[in-house]
């Protein structure tokens, strides 16, 4: 019995030390997550498996906005092959708020300058990734589900050389 009473306080002390150590590490982990998240609200990449974006296949991004008092920056990132044949991608973009379509408009995702040089700072031997400011310092009117749909709207029914599209939303400074 004396051994049990001696061990019990030691075990409790060890558990308390372990609990404190766990809480310290958990706190550091949460702080690190907050530092590295940089205000990221949404981040999704849609991979185009064949590298050919057809006019029949739209790319849809659906996200939740919880705070309408903040300003947001929305970026679209295009990963394309280095032998992509064009300077840009014409798209038809539809935006939805709580299942209601807000607008539909055309846009051009510029990938190269007028001399044919890729605007991307991130190219390798096979592909380039271009981050394009899409909508900067915008405010959402309503909390809840929002959707942005991209449809390639070029003269080509099958646009070859597009690997993926990424939509990234962050809180603005």
CA distance 112 to 117: 5
Q: How many domains does the chain have?
A: 2
Query: Does the pLDDT of residue 11 top 90, yes or no?
Result: no
**Cα–Cα nearest to 80, from 110, 113, 38, 114:** 110
Backbone φ and ψ for 56, nearest 5 degrees, come out as -80, -20
Query: Does the pLDDT of residue 137 top 90, yes or no?
Result: yes
Instruction: Count CA atoms within 13 Å of residue 165 on its CB side.
Output: 21
**Cα–Cα nearest to 137, from 173, 94, 93:** 173
**Same domain assignment for residues 21 and 101:** no
Backbone φ and ψ for 172, nearest 5 degrees, come out as -80, 155
CA distance 112 to 94: 24
**Same domain assignment for residues 95 and 64:** yes
| pLDDT tens figures, 73-111 | 999 999 999 999 999 999 999 999 998 999 999 999 999
Measured in residues, the chain has a length of 173
pTM, to two decimals:
0.76
Instruction: State the DSSP code for 76.
Output: E
**Same domain assignment for residues 11 and 46:** no
**Same domain assignment for residues 102 and 157:** yes
Instruction: State the DSSP code for 99.
Output: T
- What CATH number should be reported for the domain holding residue 86? 2.60.120
**Same domain assignment for residues 66 and 19:** no
**Same domain assignment for residues 72 and 127:** yes
| pLDDT tens figures, 17-73 | 444 444 344 333 333 333 344 589 999 999 999 999 999 999 999 999 999 999 999
**Same domain assignment for residues 32 and 117:** no
Domain containing residue 55: 40-171
């Amino acid at each position: 019995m004396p051994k049990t009473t001696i061990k019990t306080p030691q075990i409790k002390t060890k558990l308390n030390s372990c609990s404190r150590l766990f809480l310290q590490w958990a706190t550091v982990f949460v702080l690190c997550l907050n530092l590295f998240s940089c205000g990221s609200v949404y981040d999704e990449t849609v991979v185009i498996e064949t590298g050919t974006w057809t006019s029949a296949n739209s790319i849809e991004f659906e996200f939740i906005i919880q705070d309408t008092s903040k300003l947001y920056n929305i970026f679209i990132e295009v990963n394309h092959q280095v032998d992509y044949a064009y300077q840009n991608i014409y798209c038809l973009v539809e935006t939805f708020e709580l299942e209601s379509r807000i607008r539909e408009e055309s846009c051009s995702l510029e990938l190269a300058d007028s001399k044919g040089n890729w605007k991307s700072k991130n190219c390798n031997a096979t592909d380039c990734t271009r981050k394009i400011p899409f909508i900067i310092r915008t405010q959402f009117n309503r909390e809840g589900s929002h959707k942005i749909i991209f449809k390639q709207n070029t003269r080509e029914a099958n646009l070859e050389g597009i690997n993926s599209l990424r939509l990234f939303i962050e809180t603005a400074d």
